[in-house]
Chain A
Amino acid sequence: MNQRPSFLLDGAEVPFEPGQTVMQAALAAGRYIPHLCYHPEFTPHGSCKLCTARVNGRLMAACTTPAGIATEVESETEELNDLRRTLVQMLFAEGNHFCPSCEKSGNCVLQALGYDLGVMTAGFRHLFPDRPVDASHPEILLDFNRCILCELCVRAAREVDGKHVFSLAGRGLGKHLIVNAESGRLVDTDVKVTDKAVEVCPVGVILRKRVGFATPIGARRYDQSPISAQALADAPRPLERNHD
């Protein structure tokens, strides 16, 4: 068999199927490329740039680059991990990420990436933006202080829930998450606590009320194993099915 097309990722052969991106093929083959705004269930859009890799010598976002154009991909290099560290630092400095009081702490993707990449400080000047919390909804809290603008909730609402609960407004550093209501309040939207968009937030912006801090420190998701390991465990493996 093995006539499937493939590319080299850090020297190891990664097979792919037509239509797959470099990220999809890598994860399916059990190879981790750090990522933040990519989620296997939604259309990739490549905004966080954490997954930047050298594809045939050119720097590209692995999550949006078609595997078909790749022959050689470099990801685990000091240069690229340096870049990733700086991007994580930028996100920490941009928002108000006060981990000690955040109920997402321990289950937060941004935090887990920081751990895995060895980010010890945001380094840059903290911007300390003023972002009010929206507690209007009886079951869901929105704490925009922690928003990293990954648009996962926007995509989940659109692609899975068939709604437009979340969207983006403003531009540049003023870009921010909004909800689909003239009042600007979540309670005035058609959001349901069971929506995919509510569950998908990688950080602590969209939170179900009254369920926080249920898991003790030490037993939370990324207390147990690093995100690089967990991302692989979660990755869809369509190739394996085809194998047998």
Chain B
Amino acid sequence: MIDVTRRKLKVATTSLAGCFGCHMSLLDIDERLFALLERIEFDRSPLTDIKHCGPCDIGIIEGGICNAENVHVLHEFRANCKILVAMGACAVTGGLPAQRNHLDLGLCLQEVYLTDPGVAHGMIPNDPELPLPLDKVHPLHEVVKIDYFIPGCPPSGDAIWKFLTDLIEGRTPKLGHGLIHYD
């Protein structure tokens, strides 16, 4: 449960197999960011550039799970966050990256790196620095337990604001007509 005393809540955010559009939308709450920052402080997040998250009240994740690194980050968030939120279509459903799910990964890699007409002397990258792709893209809830979902591609700034204020005030978040949408 969220502590509703005035202690600032720790919030971590990240983008996995997403496009950062949801983070852009978070910034779309505009001047309400100031009000938000009265109540929360960011831990690991692209906004702080903190690389690993410590214990947090809320973790907000954009994007689905498409590679090994996504899995590590998701596990880190689940291990550290009391409440984990899937934000946006990709986190909730797999989204655009999951459109490859009915294709064989091997054929995808071959097409992109070896046989595409624009490729010369191609090879499938095998640098250990690069995370390996999973054979299928998964929404977050298929890999760890997720507590809340904010659909939308991206969810509007208003929807994110409504959701976060509900959560921070200790109410079960409810978006209602106009704020809940899947596109």
Residues of chain A touching chain B, judged by Cβ–Cβ distance below 8 Å, are 92, 96-102, 105-106, 111, 114-116, 118, 120-123, 125-126, 128-131, 217, 223, 225-226
Inter-chain contacts of B151 with A (CB < 8 A): 120-121
- Scan B94-112; emit 1 where CB is below 8 A from any A CB, else 0: 1110110110000000000
One of A97, A100, A111, A129 near B102 (C-beta < 8 A): A129
Q: Report whether A126 and B98 are in contact in the complex, using a CB–CB cutoff of 8 Å.
A: yes
Most chain B beta-carbon neighbours within 10 Å: one of A128, A129, A226: A128
Once the chains are docked, how many angstroms separate the CA of A118 from the CA of B159?
A: 13
Q: Does B74 contact A (CB under 8 A)?
A: no
Inter-chain contacts of B175 with A (CB < 8 A): 118, 120
Q: Report whether A121 and B142 are in contact in the complex, using a CB–CB cutoff of 8 Å.
A: no
Q: Report whether A111 and B182 are in contact in the complex, using a CB–CB cutoff of 8 Å.
A: yes
Inter-chain contacts of A128 with B (CB < 8 A): 94, 98, 101-102, 136
Once the chains are docked, how many angstroms separate the CA of A120 from the CA of B166?
A: 15
> Looking at chain B, what size class is its interface with the partner chain?
20 to 34
Inter-chain contacts of A96 with B (CB < 8 A): 99, 102
Known: A100-B153, A128-B101, A128-B102. A120 touches B142 (CB 8 A): no
Q: Does B160 contact A (CB under 8 A)?
A: no
Inter-chain contacts of A98 with B (CB < 8 A): 89, 93, 95-96, 98-99
Q: Report whether A118 and B180 are in contact in the complex, using a CB–CB cutoff of 8 Å.
A: yes
Inter-chain contacts of B146 with A (CB < 8 A): 121
Q: Select from chain B the residue with minimum beta-carbon distance to A227.
A: B177
Inter-chain contacts of A129 with B (CB < 8 A): 102
Known: A120-B92, A120-B148, A121-B149. A226 touches B177 (CB 8 A): yes
Q: Does B53 contact A (CB under 8 A)?
A: no
Once the chains are docked, how many angstroms separate the CA of A226 from the CA of B179?
A: 12
